Amino acid sequence: MTNDIQNTETNWSLHVDGASNKEGSGAGILLKEGDKVVAEQALQFCFNASNNQAEYEALLAGLKLAQELKIPRITVYCDSSLVVHQLKGEFQVKDPLLEKYWLITKGLISKFSKFDIIHVNREQNTRVDVLSKLATTRQTENTPALSQLTLNKPSFEHDTILSIMQVPDWRTPFLNYINTGIAPEDEPNLPLFRRRASFHTILGNTLYRRGHSQPLLKCISKEEAEDVMAETHEGVCRNHIGGRALAAKILRTGYYWPTIKRDCISKVKACDNCQKHANLSEIPAEELHTIEKKLGEAKGEWADLIPKILWSYNTSIQSATRETPFRLVYGAEALIPVEVSVPTLRTEHYDQSNNLQARAAELDLVEEERDISTINQRARKQYLERRHNKRVVHRSFNNGDLILRRTEEARKPSAHGKLAANWEGPFRVLQNLGKGAYKLETLKGDQLPGTWNVSSLREYQS
């Protein structure tokens, strides 16, 4: 079967199929030279494997067999639509485990002078389907040699170095699954675990989660999460904002852990200073003088706190512009201290020459960013105006209507104290001046001095 001339002139085909069920998992391989069956194999796996993993294992075993026979050109028939489309580049490989198999398979395919893979229905792959289920039947024609093999481990092994000081945390199951394909034995919901694992990837020895606010979010331990929250909320930034806003800022910086939102809300509730410093980061820069009133008895700390307050405000995303003031001014996000103590992708992959080029590009685009922020700000104002107008109850009075007038503090009898009436009257509307302004008179016809706004008037009901 190793005649080079014969192999180059013969059309070789490979049928593969994988199966996984409660009893175990396995694969079937059928190698044909034209219409002649050359070899068929049934492989039993001694490890847990999903259906897609079994399909890849079957394909890898078939390609290795073809290489041993020095077959230069081959056509593969597979009933797994996912595997076929992924190898053709029509489907994206999102699962980290299948990505490992995909890379190994592409490496084997490159060694053939001609390779083609075709998707077929299960009915057209009956024989290998039987083999994948470890059937004992054989074809009567051509008397092929049936061999049954056993795989004790997956086709790839990830070299790892374990430290005796390493403490398992929430990242450990995902790292083990992506590296070895072995799910935790105590996991109650394996489909849910596999779906969550598909959102993660490994760069170097670090686990990252694919995100929306950032392409890759660095997964950090519980201890690192405490440091990140403390620095962002109470450290140099002194960003005493709400729990959800704190979580959003940490995500934007590039960090992630599973309970980030719940932990940030608990962090804010447990902070003694949050009540005193509430909403400092939301105050516009031109109104920072009003912060002195919010400090209460701590007015002497004004000179020490203003740099931290300004830094907090300038590095926080504003709801109106959807950008940080720092980015709108300088064209790039600020590097906050926590990114130095717990490095992110931004700090780990810093390169001076590339940074200068990226900085120049950011400066060229900053005007467009400012225009977009201006549009967002106008849209935000229009939204707030519409929301406010929905709650406004328009009131108007006609000439001659009887109304009550709100009692101002200066006209309340001091002897009455808290028991003084909040409304006085009735009075009669003398003239409607428009825009909510009215002239009033007493019931005796005496005109009251000045004008009165509709907000200080209400209908008198006898």
pLDDT tens per residue across span 53-109: 888 998 999 899 888 888 889 999 998 888 998 998 888 888 888 888 999 999 899
User: Between 133 and 7, whose confidence is greater?
Assistant: 133
Nearest to 19 by CA among 75, 80, 77, 65: 80
Last residue of a domain, one of 286, 319, 352: 352
Q: Are 216 and 210 in contact (CB under 8 A)?
A: yes
Integer Cα distance of 6 and 122 in angstroms = 31
pLDDT of residue 165: 47
* Total number of domains in the chain: 3
Q: What are phi and psi of 437, to 5 degrees?
A: -105, 140
Give the confidence band of 359 by pLDDT, cuts at 50, 70, 90.
Answer: confident
Q: Are 401 and 428 in contact (CB under 8 A)?
A: yes
pLDDT of residue 428: 93
Is 0.75 topped by the overall pTM?
A: no
Whether 411 and 320 share a structural domain: no
**Is 388 among the domain residues?**
no
pLDDT of residue 278: 45
Integer Cα distance of 101 and 94 in angstroms = 12
Q: Average pLDDT of 265-271?
A: 79
**Is 315 among the domain residues?**
yes
Whether 334 and 223 share a structural domain: yes
Whether 12 and 81 share a structural domain: yes
256 is in which domain, residue-wise?
A: 216-352
pLDDT of residue 287: 44
Q: Average pLDDT of 281-298?
A: 48
Q: How far apart are the first and last CA of the chain?
A: 111
pLDDT digits (tens, 9 = 90+) for 19-57: 887 777 888 888 888 888 878 888 888 888 888 888 899
**Is 381 among the domain residues?**
no
> What percent of the chain clears pLDDT 90, i.e. is strictly above it?
8
Q: Is the pLDDT of residue 147 over 80?
A: no
pLDDT digits (tens, 9 = 90+) for 178-225: 888 888 888 888 888 888 899 899 988 889 988 876 788 889 888 888
Integer Cα distance of 432 and 398 in angstroms = 7
Q: Are 64 and 168 in contact (CB under 8 A)?
A: no
**Is 78 among the domain residues?**
yes
Last residue of a domain, one of 352, 372, 390: 352
Q: What are phi and psi of 249, to 5 degrees?
A: -70, -40
Whether 230 and 315 share a structural domain: yes
Last residue of a domain, one of 119, 151, 183: 151
Q: Is the pLDDT of residue 448 over 50?
A: yes
Integer Cα distance of 227 and 224 in angstroms = 5
**Is 128 among the domain residues?**
yes
Whether 222 and 348 share a structural domain: yes
Q: Average pLDDT of 392-406?
A: 87
